[in-house]
Amino acid sequence: MSVPTSATFDATTATPVPAVRRRRAWAVAGAVAGLTGIALFQLNPELTSVDRSLIADNARYVAAMDGREAYVWVFQVLSTLAAGCLAVFAAGLRRRLAAREPAGALLPEAAAGGLLLTAALLLVGGGVSTELYWDLLHLSETDPDTVAALATGYGTFPWVWAGTGLSAGAVAVAGLRRRSVSRWLAGFSLLMALLIGVTQVVPLQYLALAPAALWASVAGLTFALERRGLGN
């Protein structure tokens, strides 16, 4: 008896079982996360780009943010969106690498773990945005020192995408060692991982957002558009 090529054979029931079509929504989620990160990078200065001379006086510094709470709300929504998309990307990337790496290899886990670390920090940053929004909405009832501290967290936590460097590094090793991904993506991932690493050894950790978001965008699009025979 011939079995259709689009189906697998279940020996226990002796009936063909339709094959499950692999989808690329996880890769698209990675691209969306990266593009959202780029949007975060552009949006944050709308709140904190005030006269640097005001930083020594929290009351004046916070007063300069009056009327900008809408930016904080949008920032919160984008942070949550990026976190969710990174979590989906992490699951798909783990499966994608596990299909090419030896059983029990650590690279798929490392790639997923790095993205999940970034997603978690984005949720923390979103929580800071929530509190900052309400404080800016009621400035006359809040302590300027507290608001200034929240603004510092708002401008730091959601930007520290350092975990994504671990993911980019894992993808680079997978591509260069076993060609689990294309050579050019492996090289690009290695470059981004090194740039992210540099941001973590100097007191500019929040700059990790720029190369990390770029990597997520490019990697997500690459996986979404690759030929069906090269991945799942």
Please list, in sequence order, all residues whose beta carbon lies within 8 angstroms of the beta carbon of residue 183, skipping any fewer than 6 positions away: 175, 176
- pTM for the full model? 0.85
pLDDT score, position 57: 86
Average of per-residue pLDDT values in the chain: 86
Q: Which residue has the tokens 């006269």?
A: 51
Average pLDDT estimate for 35-43:
89
Residue 41 has pLDDT above 90, yes or no: no
Please list, in sequence order, all residues whose beta carbon lies within 8 angstroms of the beta carbon of residue 156, skipping any fewer than 6 positions away: 125, 205, 206
Average pLDDT estimate for 66-70:
88
| Residue type for position 25 | A
If pLDDT is split at 50, 70 and 90, which confidence band does 131 have?
very high
pLDDT score, position 2: 44
Percent of the residues in the chain that have a pLDDT greater than 90, as a whole number: 62
Sign of CA dihedral 101, 104, 89, 167: negative
Rounded to a whole number of angstroms, the CA Rg of the chain reads 22
If pLDDT is split at 50, 70 and 90, which confidence band does 17 have?
very low
Average pLDDT estimate for 128-142:
92
Cβ atoms of residues 195 and 218 within 8 Å:
no
More confident residue, 92 or 52: 92
Please list, in sequence order, all residues whose beta carbon lies within 8 angstroms of the beta carbon of residue 157, skipping any fewer than 6 positions away: 121, 122, 124, 125, 128
pLDDT score, position 46: 64
Where does residue 12 rank: exposed (0-12), middle (13-18), buried (19+ CB within 10 A)?
Answer: exposed
Residue 8 has pLDDT above 70, yes or no: no
CA distances 84 to 5, 21, 37, 183, 210, Å, are 36, 23, 12, 28, 19
Give the H/E segment covering residue 171.
Answer: helix 162-178
Residue 50 has pLDDT above 90, yes or no: no
Residue 89 has pLDDT above 70, yes or no: yes
Domain ranges of the chain: 24-227
Chain centroid, CA 221 distance in Å: 14
Average pLDDT estimate for 123-132:
92
